[in-house]
């Protein structure tokens, strides 16, 4: 279901947005939809509290891992061995 959104802008703001939309050969409405979608994608998903709690729980566990020098050597060896078929 589609919803209508009304936004009140001052004339100079409206004209500037209209100019930008025209320069991209799109309607003002389409430009606004795309701008809102881009802004929404930049917002973090989920609450900061939940993310921090997940990190706190994760660091309580011990995961197997090589030391850094060993991991870097293995990565480098993989690069040097070339693509696998």
What's the alpha-carbon Rg for the chain, to the nearest Å?
A: 25
Enter the pTM of the model. 0.52
Residue 73 tokens, joined: 């050597």
pLDDT (0 to 100) of residue 4: 92
Three-class secondary structure of residue 20 per DSSP: helix
What range does the domain containing 75 cover?
11-80
Residue 4 is assigned to a structural domain of this protein: no
Give yes or no for residue 43 having a pLDDT over 90.
no
In the chain, the number of structural domains is 1
3 within domain boundaries: no
Do residues 64 and 58 make contact, with C-beta atoms less than 8 angstroms apart? no
Q: Is the pLDDT of residue 32 over 70?
A: yes
Q: What is the band of 33 on the pLDDT scale with cuts at 50, 70, 90?
A: very high
What pLDDT does 85 receive? 64
pLDDT value for 27: 96
CB neighbourhood size of 81 (10 A): 8
- For residues 31 and 21, is the Cβ–Cβ distance under 8 A? yes
């Amino acid at each position: 279901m589609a919803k209508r959104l009304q936004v009140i802008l001052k004339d100079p703001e409206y004209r500037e947005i209209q100019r930008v939309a025209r320069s991209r050969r799109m309607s003002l409405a389409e430009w606004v939809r795309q701008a809102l979608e881009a802004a929404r994608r930049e917002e973090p998903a989920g609450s900061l509290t939940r993310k921090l709690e997940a990190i706190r729980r994760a660091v309580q566990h011990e995961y197997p891992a090589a030391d850094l020098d060993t991991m870097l050597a293995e990565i480098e060896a993989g690069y040097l061995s070339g693509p696998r078929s």
